[in-house]
Chains A and B, each alone.
Chain A
């Protein structure tokens, strides 16, 4: 049944509903492939035995009313999963087994899905290449020694390598869209407040959003529909009417106004990215939609503002990992010594760097100059979007300023690494939804993505635009199973 792994999520769901295939067959196929794909280092913790037991249970007593009946899913190891180790890619949580389930994963299981295992990611989701995980670097299936992007690098790699039919990640500054772009997959960063943050290991609370990562737009609509819910346990969860995104999917974009922000035409943007963007613009034009040149004047301040706000929140969010209550603890001669050793040994360099930046920008005497100013910039960025959304329905940009880079290429230059988030970060600062869809390849055959940014809670609109573009682009994965 090697073709099982070639089916999309939506196809798998219909096959299982049509009883053409059993949950056990699907899960066995994926487990078998996962076992052969250890070179990619996508999993931190597997749960294959349990998955097979649950598949059997499903097949014995199937419920086809569910949206993901008997479908296996591996998830980023930032989602707390009851009774299964959750590490956030960090040593400091290397022995942490939650007694509770995140709301988003709970929503998946409630719709019949079955957990395959926990996917590698940058430590506490801090990174753009999945090289900061305590559990080792993740290899992209796109090519040897290529990074899959980050921080949801394990998720992107597992999805593109077909070790899971779909997956979920989290996106604080681009952590879903950038790896989706690097691996030729679809990734959605939903509107802030769409998916509950309850039970997700926090990086930067005001920016973190969970989202789906899938093979195509239909799968993305389906998975988002399942993930998204109003949750009283998260005070920032928004109670809006969630629609049936998959059912309402249509590819008519005629008459729509799509904005092209001039500020995203950054200096020394590779020609290949410019060409990709133009290709997208042409597709939209040809479909009878209107291209509108727009300006988002504060875009240039987004990255510096992001690298103040996100580390500030992280420095506080990560204070709870102190060796006192759970997780890794190093022996110390006294309390302070225990704290210092635990956190020195428990956290990796990138996490420490951000804790230090965050602590600094919140310090007395610096708060106004950094954190407060960054918050003001954030407001301006949000205003920029509000302003242009009076004129356009959505915005089209590249997802990343380049294709995937080599493992180790940027590890010694954090600023160059941070620059990779230049197109994705403003969207998190503004709390908006954005989707990255695979749109082409660079000359080396590495995938490239385009990003469609929507109005708040207007996911249906960007799904529709993405769905139309996907059909026109007709992207074909060039991934060969070189690692097997």
Chain B
């Protein structure tokens, strides 16, 4: 089979003596988080009955006119700011003309030559380090409706609930070079938009999809190869599968002396392959022209600055702060900031608790628990408040780390207060030296033969004594104190 180097820094396709580099660019379609559509007041709520969220404008009745939704404009600008991008003070809405039953107007209102957001960049946090990826542009456009082919055997049904919903198309430069980078890029864009609350990033509900541009070239070559565009891929896993298939396909074509045709392809998730949808010659002529129903969108500096001033702390800044203020490692900071809800949870916990222990517990026990139960952090069975309490109980020596794990397990069943669990189950750590001495004496007395062996040099037996003491105490003995007392007794 194909030899693919999947080390993080280099993703190469190797055939005989040739090494091919894969060049990837993404066009992410992100649904604007907004109550109403881009040009009408219809609701955008997901999962409603078909055709219940459709206005006369969305269904393109004669004489109906689009009126821009200011909130969606703000969301696009905020996202642009989050992508460190230039906000264009003048942008134009164009009509992209084509016929399709789920496109009621016979054109999609989009932005062609003058998008609302220009060039920008994002930083990817890769195991090999940070990588800057260029953003070409972000523009606003309407979503189409949905054609349903599998309900009625004779007819295609159309649901216009999505028709007119605002999308942001975020176009990257062809800066991505590996599947790992694609993953990191999508996650970063998603993370930024979730921080900004401009897109919920929900890929299952179609709030985030991407068209993937793939080309290959021999390693070392400067010129880009001919690209193919894979349309409408709706999960990171499928994107990676599609890219891997497509890059290998292109390499095979080149290796056999062929050339790549610029074309649009579809990814078949069942067969795990891409198929040609239409060639460049068959490409639609969309006859773009400025929509005469909408004036050019002109933004004032005040309008933009007002949004700029209200941008929350974004993942990169937050990461920097976590590293500087809390002395976290870059790795830890990355994990904690990548999702805004995780970072909120973390900051809630450390408000009253030790940072180091909190970090370990969140990235260790809590993540494992969420992973096992397949839950988002917002659905965590353990609240930040109670986890903070648990950590304080460890810190002040009320319970040992080991006991804490059992308490954590009980907490996971229904967000119980760790203090109460400890009281009910009598799990409080024994830290009274007199009580501990009694236990130590008991264990030492009962194992005189082992004491002799220890004293004759078999120091490994120290662990045996500790184990016995813990057993007798039911795990509640304070380990530091036990160590201290035991050492005295064995002198």
Contact assessment for B292 and A93 in the assembled complex, using a CB-CB cutoff below 8 Å: no
Which of chain A's residues have a CB closer than 8 A to the CB of B106? 316, 318-320, 322
- Name the residue of chain A whose CB is nearest to the CB of B286: A364
Asked if A250 is at the interface (CB within 8 A of a chain B CB), the reply is no
Contact assessment for A235 and B67 in the assembled complex, using a CB-CB cutoff below 8 Å: yes
20 A-B residue pairs with Cβ-Cβ distance under 8 Å, sorted by A, are A80-B63, A98-B62, A197-B65, A199-B63, A201-B63, A233-B65, A235-B68, A236-B292, A236-B293, A312-B289, A315-B97, A316-B95, A316-B289, A318-B106, A319-B97, A319-B99, A319-B106, A322-B106, A325-B59, A367-B289
Interface residues on B, range: 20 to 34
Bound-state Cα–Cα, A320 to B105, Å: 5
Asked if B104 is at the interface (CB within 8 A of a chain A CB), the reply is yes
Bound-state Cα–Cα, A80 to B294, Å: 21
Contact assessment for A205 and B287 in the assembled complex, using a CB-CB cutoff below 8 Å: no
Asked if B472 is at the interface (CB within 8 A of a chain A CB), the reply is no
Asked if B360 is at the interface (CB within 8 A of a chain A CB), the reply is no
For residues 197 through 229 of chain A, which have their beta carbon under 8 Å from a beta carbon of chain B? 197-202, 204-206
Which of chain B's residues have a CB closer than 8 A to the CB of A232? 67
Asked if A483 is at the interface (CB within 8 A of a chain B CB), the reply is no
Asked if B185 is at the interface (CB within 8 A of a chain A CB), the reply is no
Contact assessment for B105 and A363 in the assembled complex, using a CB-CB cutoff below 8 Å: no
Known contacts A316-B95, A319-B107; decide if A88 and B62 are in contact (CB<8 Å): yes
Asked if B295 is at the interface (CB within 8 A of a chain A CB), the reply is yes
- Name the residue of chain B whose CB is nearest to the CB of A232: B67
- Name the residue of chain A whose CB is nearest to the CB of B156: A335
Known contacts A205-B292, A235-B295; decide if A316 and B62 are in contact (CB<8 Å): no
Cross-chain pair count, CB within 8 angstroms? 97
Contact assessment for A234 and B65 in the assembled complex, using a CB-CB cutoff below 8 Å: yes
B234 CB → nearest A CB, Å? 24
Asked if A171 is at the interface (CB within 8 A of a chain B CB), the reply is no
For residues 54 through 101 of chain A, which have their beta carbon under 8 Å from a beta carbon of chain B? 79-80, 86, 88, 93, 96, 98-100
Contact assessment for B292 and A204 in the assembled complex, using a CB-CB cutoff below 8 Å: yes
Bound-state Cα–Cα, A205 to B93, Å: 14
A205-B293, A322-B101 given; 6 more Cβ-contact pairs under 8 Å: A201-B62, A236-B293, A316-B106, A316-B287, A324-B158, A325-B104
- Name the residue of chain A whose CB is nearest to the CB of B160: A325
Contact assessment for B97 and A316 in the assembled complex, using a CB-CB cutoff below 8 Å: yes
A44 CB → nearest B CB, Å? 15
Which of chain B's residues have a CB closer than 8 A to the CB of A96? 62
Contact of A320 among B60, B292, B293 (CB under 8 A): B60
Contact assessment for B101 and A335 in the assembled complex, using a CB-CB cutoff below 8 Å: yes
Contact assessment for A359 and B287 in the assembled complex, using a CB-CB cutoff below 8 Å: yes
B39 CB → nearest A CB, Å? 9
Asked if B302 is at the interface (CB within 8 A of a chain A CB), the reply is no
Contact assessment for A319 and B65 in the assembled complex, using a CB-CB cutoff below 8 Å: no
- Name the residue of chain A whose CB is nearest to the CB of B93: A235
Bound-state Cα–Cα, A286 to B216, Å: 81
Contact assessment for A102 and B63 in the assembled complex, using a CB-CB cutoff below 8 Å: yes
Residues of A within 8 A of B (CB): 79-80, 86, 88, 93, 96, 98-100, 102, 197-202, 204-206, 232-236, 312-313, 315-316, 318-320, 322, 324-326, 335, 339, 359, 362-364, 367, 371
Which of chain A's residues have a CB closer than 8 A to the CB of B288? 362, 367
Q: CB-CB contacts of B104-141 with A at 8 A, as 1s and 0s?
A: 11110000000000000000000000000000000000
Contact of A80 among B62, B67, B107 (CB under 8 A): B62
A447 CB → nearest B CB, Å? 31
Asked if B56 is at the interface (CB within 8 A of a chain A CB), the reply is yes
Bound-state Cα–Cα, A324 to B293, Å: 23
Asked if B285 is at the interface (CB within 8 A of a chain A CB), the reply is yes
Contact assessment for B99 and A86 in the assembled complex, using a CB-CB cutoff below 8 Å: no
Asked if B66 is at the interface (CB within 8 A of a chain A CB), the reply is yes
For residues 280 through 326 of chain B, which have their beta carbon under 8 Å from a beta carbon of chain A? 285, 287-289, 292-295
Bound-state Cα–Cα, A311 to B318, Å: 54
Q: CB-CB contacts of B139-163 with A at 8 A, as 1s and 0s?
A: 0000000000000000010100000
Bound-state Cα–Cα, A233 to B39, Å: 10
Contact assessment for B156 and A326 in the assembled complex, using a CB-CB cutoff below 8 Å: no
For B68, B156, B292, the residue with the greatest tally of chain A CB atoms inside 10 Å of its CB is B292
Bound-state Cα–Cα, A85 to B158, Å: 25
A423 CB → nearest B CB, Å? 23
Bound-state Cα–Cα, A80 to B56, Å: 13
Bound-state Cα–Cα, A199 to B56, Å: 10
For residues 381 through 422 of chain B, which have their beta carbon under 8 Å from a beta carbon of chain A? none
The 8 closest A-B pairs by CB, nearest first: A319-B106, A206-B292, A362-B287, A205-B292, A199-B63, A320-B60, A201-B62, A364-B285
Bound-state Cα–Cα, A313 to B373, Å: 56
- Name the residue of chain A whose CB is nearest to the CB of B62: A201
Which of chain B's residues have a CB closer than 8 A to the CB of A204? 292
Asked if B331 is at the interface (CB within 8 A of a chain A CB), the reply is no
Which of chain B's residues have a CB closer than 8 A to the CB of A80? 61-63
